[in-house]
């Protein structure tokens, strides 16, 4: 609760969360919000400019751009969110195992992470798409397969620093079960780290999905997706540049919102950051985070 | 902090150095461009979506516009019929089996080797030694032997009379002539050592997937061409080509040999409006169509009714008007009626989604609920349509057709691939539907129809239809018959069969489009969509 209150005081963070909330709602209830059938072809409206009926105009098949933009939230944002959730879950599970139990489990999981992290993400995704075939589903699978490793690694680091704290040791002494310790004592502490990493990687994942769709590897026609809409607009980039605007801005706004939210979350979860006082532990953690994020 | 203070001027200097380095580069580029614009008065640089590839004219990997510049055939197919080219004159025996050609005496290959009867024999033999590859061209199955009569007279003996023989000899490949010095072990089927033809241009430089330079053949028997240098530059189709044309990096673009325009019509119009370019369009040359794989029994596309329904659900008027800006006319039959032997009365299948639904209903494909994909015996009415990645108009058409088919309850997946991969699918039968086109004036109808029986072409398209055997028999017959009336009847039968079976679903009548500098004269077209007569072009001063 305190976190939410903190967040409310941060204007940018507050605005970002509203943008994200609205986007998600629009996506979930897309058919209600979309003014037209997003796949309705009407050749007589090919490249029509914006009008009262079609607020953002029409694309190369006379389809309503606004409706496509709204329905495009599903693959561009919601499915990415889902994929992110799954890989964070996998990463968290393995991260807690490794960080809490240490020893052999830790070694095995970390070496697996090393292996996964030694492949460049994009190339790995392309390879997986090459094996499984093109399609949104396969890209999401590829993402989950690639991303879990560095979530696992960061969460492990976060768990490590708390696992040695005295009260965790004291909790172990009377024989409280490991799972319960993790759930009761470690999870609340690491949750803030997980939230920050997840929200900050959301932006890059949206960009990557759009990138793959732009290349034609993602969602297949006639379904709408922002990257694909950009690709369709690209063909008339010099004769009708305005078509790039709607999907381009949509991506920019949502990705920025996620990034700002991530920054604000970090501050809200850890007010010390906003005043500039840093404890050495956090500094080391955030540098590691940054390093991984740079990848 | 002090470090930072010192660092910033250093960084600034570095940036400055970088910037000047950059501007040096751009100046260099500018000079190169100036060279171009002065040279632009006598040079053509054309954009092409794919590399010229292996130019071996006896195989099919090469780019036809490039091969057409370098290699020549014995005779030429023109609007007025077959005309002499490397052969001055010819004689056909009474029984139609022996063709005697008198060759031009002043012709040399580009490596100095004389073009004579011996060279003709070597080339034809090399082609015949690889006859399997050439099965689409029926002459390859009927050419029995090539005999040298004297230095400049050569005789072709056929196993039976074959009326399109001269037409097939006039084609861009494979019956064209490569210097015997370039042969490997007397053959060409497994590669050649050079690309010396007799044509107006010779290949000077080739960098795979970048560019190829052709220089004028100053010793060309028809007189050295006016344009001394032609460069074929590989550029992705679409906006890259458009920008390159605007910048002057290339100054020429045309419909490629697989029928894909590298620019969409709106960009072409914009280029013309800007005043630097002209747009020249040929007469309608071919029919752009969707080819259905009738032999794919595991898919619904093998059912005539389904194909008919697809035919009915394509709105050709809209495609012609909105996608092609009226530059291509709707096509209702495989060959337009001005093609020889193709003026046949065929039932027109008008655009009508209602009609299409009715046909599907009757064929047992039922819609369980409105808007859902139709099913029959638990199978969904779903298929795939392949289009050429390089063609933006094909993609738009595919999306448009996808929507229409969805309306009648057919689920269509559209997949864009490279043109070679599409050609490969056509040959292996790995497709349900794909975009294709008839082969153009010089090839229609005889070669396109002969290709119905060819593995590499439309065998998979036609072999699933009920009367396939009868159809193939008629195709064999029509090629050898000498009786004009009988030929007409047979062609009418063949065209009626494939029309009734709806295996070739026509869309529009396509033409070749050329975007060329405003001051280029003499742009004309051949009887094929696959090459352009560059040697006839020249720049106004």
Confidence of residue B13 (pLDDT cuts 50, 70, 90): low
Q: What is the pLDDT of residue A172?
A: 84
Which secondary-structure segment (H or E) carries A56?
none
Whether cis (ω within 30° of 0) applies to the bond prior to A222 is yes
Please tell me what DSSP assigns to residue B284.
Answer: P
Kindly state the percentage of chain B with pLDDT values over 90: 53
Nearest Cβ partner of B267 from A40, A41, A238? A238
B406 and A216: CB-CB below 8 Å? no
Which residues make beta-bridge pairs with A71?
none
B239 and A60: CB-CB below 8 Å? no
Q: What is the pLDDT of residue B3?
A: 46
Kindly tell me the burial class for residue B248, based on how many C-beta atoms sit within 10 Å of its own C-beta (0-12, 13-18, 19 or more).
middle
Confidence of residue A95 (pLDDT cuts 50, 70, 90): very high
Nearest Cβ partner of B400 from A41, A237, A240? A41
Q: What is the pLDDT of residues B387-397, one digit of tens each?
A: 988 887 898 99
Is the CB of A221 inside 8 Å of chain B's CB atoms? yes
Confidence of residue A109 (pLDDT cuts 50, 70, 90): very high
Q: What is the pLDDT of residue B393?
A: 86
Q: What is the pLDDT of residue B91?
A: 93
Q: What is the nearest CA distance from B500 to chain A, expressed in angstroms? A: 29
What length is written for chain B?
Answer: 541
Q: What is the nearest CA distance from B403 to chain A, expressed in angstroms? A: 7
Average pLDDT score over chain A: 86
In the predicted structure, residue B29 carries a pLDDT above the cut 50: no
In the predicted structure, residue A273 carries a pLDDT above the cut 80: no
- The answer to whether the beta carbons of residues B394 and B422 sit under 8 Å apart is no
Distances (CA, A) of B304 to A286, B287, B297, B299, B383: 66, 21, 11, 12, 14
Which secondary-structure segment (H or E) carries A286?
helix A280-294
Kindly state the percentage of chain A with pLDDT values over 90: 41
Average pLDDT score over chain B: 87
- The answer to whether the beta carbons of residues B367 and B309 sit under 8 Å apart is no
Q: What is the pLDDT of residues B321-378, one digit of tens each?
A: 988 888 889 999 999 888 888 888 899 999 999 999 999 999 999 988 877 899 998 8
Nearest Cβ partner of B403 from A39, A236, A239? A39
Within 8 A of A214 by CB-CB distance, chain B residues are none
Distances (CA, A) of B451 to B73, B117, B423, B436: 21, 30, 13, 13
A238 and B266: CB-CB below 8 Å? no
Is the CB of A242 inside 8 Å of chain B's CB atoms? no
Within 8 A of B416 by CB-CB distance, chain A residues are 216
- Chain A residue with the nearest C-alpha to that of B246: A238
- Chain B residue with the nearest C-alpha to that of A59: B396
Nearest Cβ partner of A237 from B239, B318, B406? B239
Nearest Cβ partner of B243 from A39, A238, A240? A238
What value does the mean pLDDT take over residues B94-121?
A: 93
A235 and B403: CB-CB below 8 Å? no
Cβ-based interface (< 8 Å): residues of B facing A: 238-239, 242-243, 246, 264, 266-267, 270, 315, 318, 321-323, 392, 396, 398-400, 402-404, 406, 413-416
Confidence of residue A274 (pLDDT cuts 50, 70, 90): low
Within 8 A of A235 by CB-CB distance, chain B residues are 238-239, 264, 392
Is the CB of A31 inside 8 Å of chain B's CB atoms? no
Rounded Cα distance between B58 and B54, Å, is 10
Whether cis (ω within 30° of 0) applies to the bond prior to B174 is yes
* Structure token pair of residue B278: 């002209």
What value does the mean pLDDT take over residues B376-388?
A: 91
Is the CB of A60 inside 8 Å of chain B's CB atoms? yes
- Beta-carbon contacts of A227 under 8 Å, excluding residues fewer than 6 positions away, are A76, A209, A210, A211, A212, A213, A214, A218, A247, A251
What value does the mean pLDDT take over residues B281-309?
A: 92
Q: What is the nearest CA distance from A237 to chain B, expressed in angstroms? A: 7
Give me the domain span that covers residue A276. 2-294
Nearest Cβ partner of A234 from B239, B246, B315? B239
Rounded Cα distance between A111 and A108, Å, is 5
Q: What is the pLDDT of residue A1?
A: 57
What value does the mean pLDDT take over residues B284-300?
A: 92
Query: Which of A216, A225, A230, A236 should one mutate to test binding to chain B, selecting the residue with the greatest count of B CBs within 10 A?
Result: A236
Confidence of residue A2 (pLDDT cuts 50, 70, 90): low
Q: What is the pLDDT of residues B157-175, one digit of tens each?
A: 999 888 889 989 999 889 9
Higher pLDDT, B308 or B13: B308
Nearest Cβ partner of B318 from A39, A43, A221? A43
Q: Dmax over Cα atoms in chain B, in whole Å?
A: 101
Q: What is the DSSP secondary-structure string of B114-182?
A: B--HHHHHHHHHHHHTTGGGGTTSTHHHHEEEEEEEETTEEEEEESS--TTHHHHHTSSSSSB---GGG
- Beta-carbon contacts of A267 under 8 Å, excluding residues fewer than 6 positions away, are A6, A10, A13, A273, A274
CATH of the domain at A222: 1.10.3720.10
B322 and A44: CB-CB below 8 Å? yes
Is the CB of A41 inside 8 Å of chain B's CB atoms? yes
Helix (H, G, I), strand (E, B) or coil at B416: strand
Q: What is the pLDDT of residue B17?
A: 52
B399 and A41: CB-CB below 8 Å? yes
B403 and A238: CB-CB below 8 Å? no
A41 and B266: CB-CB below 8 Å? no
CB atoms within 10 A of CB B540: 10
A239 and B266: CB-CB below 8 Å? yes
- The answer to whether the beta carbons of residues A192 and A270 sit under 8 Å apart is yes
Rounded Cα distance between A177 and A200, Å, is 33
Confidence of residue B76 (pLDDT cuts 50, 70, 90): very high
In the predicted structure, residue B12 carries a pLDDT above the cut 60: no
Confidence of residue A286 (pLDDT cuts 50, 70, 90): low
- The answer to whether the beta carbons of residues B270 and A239 sit under 8 Å apart is yes
Is the CB of A39 inside 8 Å of chain B's CB atoms? yes
Q: What is the pLDDT of residue B34?
A: 41
What length is written for chain A?
Answer: 295
Query: Which of B330, B399, B405, B408 should one mutate to test binding to chain A, selecting the residue with the greatest count of A CBs within 10 A?
Result: B399
Q: What is the nearest CA distance from A184 to chain B, expressed in angstroms? A: 46
Q: What is the pLDDT of residues B194-248, one digit of tens each?
A: 999 999 999 999 999 999 999 999 999 999 999 999 999 999 888 888 889 999 9
Number of cross-chain residue pairs from A and B with Cβ atoms under 8 Å apart:
52
- Chain A residue with the nearest C-alpha to that of B242: A238
Nearest Cβ partner of A239 from B270, B402, B406? B270
Nearest Cβ partner of A216 from B246, B315, B416? B416
- Chain A residue with the nearest C-alpha to that of B325: A46
Q: What is the nearest CA distance from A115 to chain B, expressed in angstroms? A: 33
B396 and A239: CB-CB below 8 Å? no
In the predicted structure, residue A8 carries a pLDDT above the cut 90: no
What value does the mean pLDDT take over residues B181-195?
A: 90
Say if pTM beats, i.e. exceeds, 0.95.
no
What value does the mean pLDDT take over residues B475-479?
A: 88
Within 8 A of A60 by CB-CB distance, chain B residues are 396
What value does the mean pLDDT take over residues A75-82?
A: 94
Number of domains in chain A: 1
């Amino acid at each position: 609760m305190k976190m939410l209150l903190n967040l409310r005081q941060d204007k940018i963070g507050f605005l970002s969360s509203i943008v994200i909330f609205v986007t998600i709602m629009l996506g979930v209830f897309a058919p209600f919000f979309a003014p037209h059938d997003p796949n309705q072809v009407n050749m007589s409206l090919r490249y029509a400019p914006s009008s009262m009926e079609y607020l953002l105009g029409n694309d190369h098949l006379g389809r309503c751009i606004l409706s496509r933009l709204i329905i495009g939230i599903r693959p561009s944002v919601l499915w990415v969110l889902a994929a992110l959730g799954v890989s964070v879950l996998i990463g968290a599970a393995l991260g807690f195992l490794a960080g809490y139990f240490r020893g052999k489990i830790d070694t095995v999981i970390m070496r697996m992470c090393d292996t996964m992290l030694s492949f460049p993400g994009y190339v790995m995704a392309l390879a997986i798409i090459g094996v499984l075939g093109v399609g949104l589903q396969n890209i999401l699978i590829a993402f989950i397969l690639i991303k879990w490793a560095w979530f696992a690694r960061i969460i492990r680091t976060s768990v490590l620093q708390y696992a040695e704290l005295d009260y965790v040791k004291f909790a172990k002494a009377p024989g409280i079960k490991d799972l319960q310790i993790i759930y009761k004592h470690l999870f609340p502490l690491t949750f803030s780290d997980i939230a920050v990493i997840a929200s900050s990687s959301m932006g890059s994942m949206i960009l990557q999905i759009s990138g793959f769709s732009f290349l034609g590897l993602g969602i297949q026609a006639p379904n709408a997706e922002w990257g694909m809409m950009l690709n369709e607009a690209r063909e008339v980039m010099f004769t009708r540049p305005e078509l790039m605007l709607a999907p381009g801005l949509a991506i920019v706004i949502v990705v920025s919102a996620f990034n700002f939210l991530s920054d604000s979350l970090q501050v809200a979860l850890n007010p010390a950051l906003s005043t500039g006082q840093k404890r050495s532990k956090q500094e080391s953690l955030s540098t590691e985070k940054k390093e991984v994020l740079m990848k | 902090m002090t470090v930072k203070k010192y660092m910033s001027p250093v960084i600034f200097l570095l940036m400055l150095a970088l910037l000047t380095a950059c501007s040096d580069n751009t100046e260099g580029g500018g000079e190169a461009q100036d060279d171009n614009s002065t040279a632009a008065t006598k040079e053509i640089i054309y954009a092409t979506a794919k590399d010229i590839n292996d130019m071996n004219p006896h195989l099919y990997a090469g780019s036809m516009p490039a091969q057409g510049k370098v290699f020549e055939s014995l005779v030429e197919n023109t609007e007025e019929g077959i005309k002499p080219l490397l052969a001055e004159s010819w004689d056909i025996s009474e029984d139609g089996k022996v063709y005697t050609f008198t060759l031009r005496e002043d012709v040399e290959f580009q490596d100095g080797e004389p073009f004579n009867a011996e060279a003709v024999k070597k080339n034809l033999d090399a082609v015949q030694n690889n006859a399997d590859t050439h099965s689409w061209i029926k002459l390859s199955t009927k050419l029995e032997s090539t005999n040298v009569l004297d230095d400049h007279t050569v005789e072709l003996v056929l196993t039976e009379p074959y009326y399109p023989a001269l037409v097939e000899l006039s084609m861009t490949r494979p019956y064209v002539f490569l210097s015997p010095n370039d042969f490997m072990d007397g053959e060409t089927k497994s590669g050649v050592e050079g690309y010396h033809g007799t044509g107006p241009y010779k290949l000077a430089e080739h960098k795979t997937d970048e560019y190829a330079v052709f220089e004028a053949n100053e010793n060309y028997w028809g007189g050295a061409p006016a344009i001394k240098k032609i460069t074929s530059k590989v550029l992705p189709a679409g906006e890259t080509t458009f920008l390159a044309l605007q910048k002057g990096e290339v100054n020429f673009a045309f419909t490629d040999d697989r029928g894909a325009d590298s620019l969409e019509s709106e960009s072409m119009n914009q280029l013309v409006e800007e005043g630097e370019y002209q747009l020249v369009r040929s007469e309608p040359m071919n029919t752009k169509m969707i080819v259905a794989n009738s032999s794919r029994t595991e898919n619904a596309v093998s059912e005539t009714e389904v194909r008919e329904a697809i035919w009915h659900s394509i709105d050709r008027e809209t495609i012609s008007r909105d996608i092609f800006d009226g530059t291509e006319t709707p096509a209702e039959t495989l060959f337009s009626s001005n093609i020889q032997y193709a003026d046949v009365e065929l039932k027109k299948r008008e655009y009508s989604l209602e009609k299409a639904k009715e046909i599907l209903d009757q064929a047992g494909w039922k819609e369980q609920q409105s808007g859902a994909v139709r099913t029959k015996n638990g199978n969904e009415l779903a298929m795939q349509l392949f289009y050429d990645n390089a063609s933006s108009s094909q993609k738009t058409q595919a999306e448009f057709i996808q929507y229409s088919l969805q309306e009648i309850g057919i689920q269509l997946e559209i997949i864009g691939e490279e043109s070679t991969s599409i050609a490969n699918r056509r040959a292996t039968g790995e497709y349900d539907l794909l975009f294709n086109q008839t082969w153009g004036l010089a090839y229609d109808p005889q070669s396109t129809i002969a290709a119905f029986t060819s593995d590499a072409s439309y065998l998979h398209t036609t072999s699933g239809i009920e009367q396939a055997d009868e159809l193939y028999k008629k195709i064999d017959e029509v090629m050898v018959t000498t009786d004009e009336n009988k030929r007409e009847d047979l062609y009418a039968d063949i065209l009626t069969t494939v029309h009734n079976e709806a295996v070739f679903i026509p869309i529009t009548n396509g033409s070749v489009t050329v975007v060329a500098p405003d001051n280029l004269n003499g742009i004309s077209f051949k009887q094929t969509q696959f090459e352009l007569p560059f040697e006839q072009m020249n720049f106004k001063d």
